Every structure is written in C-alpha cells, then in structure tokens.
Amino acid sequence: MIKKIVRKAAKWLLILALLSLLPVIVLRWAPAPGSMLMAERWIAAKRADQPLQIAYQWRPYDEISDSMKMAVIAAEDQRFAEHYGFDFRAIRAAVEHNMQGGNLRGASTLSQQVSKNLFLWSGRSYLRKGLEAWFTLWIEVLWPKQRILEMYLNIAEWDRGVFGVEAAAHHHFNIGASYLSNRQASQLAAVLPSPLKWDAAQPPAHAQRRAIWIERQMRQLGGRHYLDEMEAGRNWPEWLGLRYWRNRLDI
C-alpha cells in the first residue's frame, strides 16, 4: 500500500513538473499576456474596493533603448551575463551582510525576479522560494539571456498599475521605451526597490544619488559592448563542460 502511494505521488509530481514547463516553453517566444504579480495587484485592489487599471504594453527587445537594458543590469544584477540564474557570490555577500546586523539585503538575480513575478506570488515562504528556484533553472536552460532581460523589462512594476518599460516610459516621461536616455533609464532603475513609493520622474534625494551611481556603473560595465557580448549567447555544449560548473559554483 505504501509503495503504491509513493509511486502514485511520484507519478503526479512528475506530471505536475512537466506541466509547469509548458508556460516556460511557450513564453520563450510568445509575448507575456500579463504576470502573476499583475493579477495579484488587481485582486488586492478589488478586495480593498480600490479598482486598479493595469497599464501594460509588450515591447520587443529591439524596441527598448540600450540605456534601459544596461540600467537594470547595473542596478539589479551586474553579473547577469555570467551566472546561470543564481549569483552565489552575491548570495554569500548578502548572508554575511545580514549576519553582521546590516539592513536586510537580497541577492535575487534578474532571472529569479522574472521567475517570481511572472509565475508566482509575492511574500516569503520555503514553498515559493523552492518554486522560484525551479522556474529559474528552466528559464536559464530554455531562454537566452536576451529573452530573460526582455521579459524582465516588460513585466517589471514601476508604479501603481504600471507594468513594463513601455508603460513606465509613458507614465513618467511621456515618451516611448525606445527613446529613454541614460538619465531617464537610470532613474527608472533606481526606483525599482520601491516603485510604489518613489516617483522615477522626481525621485527622492537618495534615489537620485542611486541613479547617478547606476549611470556610472553602466559606463564601467561597457554599455553596448556588454549587450553585444551577452546577445552572442552561450553554447549548449557549455552546459556539459567544466566552465559551466565552475561558474555556477563560483570557484
């Protein structure tokens, strides 16, 4: 009896795991119609009797300014082109910082943020973190870095009901995402930690200082050259080689 239960449980877990890969595969090419974070915000607003209108418009990768691409990499995940979904160096640094009593610091990569915002719910729990790791793994396996960055920019939250860089550019600067300057892009990236509190068009002093730092980091990372290297991609055989495991384990 116990063996039958275990076999059935394993069978259903395998089926669920395979089914969970379907949206990852489809969204490798299809524009996202929305995200779980959008749905969560809309439901919460409806329950609070505060109707929320979602501003969201998908914008292809080539129609987003290079400044905006570099700004979020500089602000959120400077080793984006190097890691495989999990930045173990940043995780160690965050753990050490938090153990020393500093302000709580996270170490989520852009890939992890896409996984959470696109497929999961907000909040902290071991279940959600486990599912986040599962989706992050398969996003990194099945999507090129260019697609991960494109998805991140299209579903990120930039104000109440404002999702994606196209809606954010119109909302804050009255322009399209392809026309964002270095300064405008850096200000949008600077408010990402608290997009519901900070205005990217008129950020508070500390966010403005962060925007200046982000601009400097964009130049130091190499700007368009960084993107060219990233867009060149990595070869599938690399997943079978030593370089992958060395980078993944950060050794």
**Taking the domains of the chain in order of start, what are their residue ranges?**
1-30, 31-249
Higher pLDDT, 231 or 150: 150
**Is the distance from CB of 120 to CB of 139 less than 8 angstroms?**
no
How far apart (Å, rounded) are the C-alpha atoms in residues 111 and 80? Answer: 8
How far apart (Å, rounded) are the C-alpha atoms in residues 118 and 124? Answer: 16
Is residue 174 scored above 50 in pLDDT?
yes
Contacts of 122 (CB under 8 A, 6+ apart): 37, 40, 116
Q: Write a three-state SS string for 40-59.
A: HHHHHHHHCCCCCCCEECCC
Chain centroid to Cα 87, Å, comes to: 13
> How does pLDDT run across 74-87, given as a tens digit for each residue?
999 999 999 999 88
Closest CA to 225 of 66, 4, 36, 5: 66
Chain centroid to Cα 11, Å, comes to: 32
Residue range 149-176: average pLDDT?
A: 98
Q: How far is CA 202 from CA 206, 208, 211, in A?
A: 11, 8, 11
Q: What is the DSSP letter of 214?
A: H
Residue range 185-203: average pLDDT?
A: 95
> How does pLDDT run across 95-143, given as a tens digit for each residue?
665 666 655 445 789 999 999 999 999 888 899 999 999 999 999 999 9
> How does pLDDT run across 1-60, given as a tens digit for each residue?
787 888 888 888 888 889 999 999 999 999 999 999 999 999 999 999 998 999 999 999
CATH number of 31-249: 1.10.3810.10
Provide the pLDDT for residue 6.
81
For tokens 């200046």, what's the residue?
212
Provide the pLDDT for residue 124.
85
Higher pLDDT, 17 or 70: 70
**Is the distance from CB of 76 to CB of 148 less than 8 angstroms?**
no
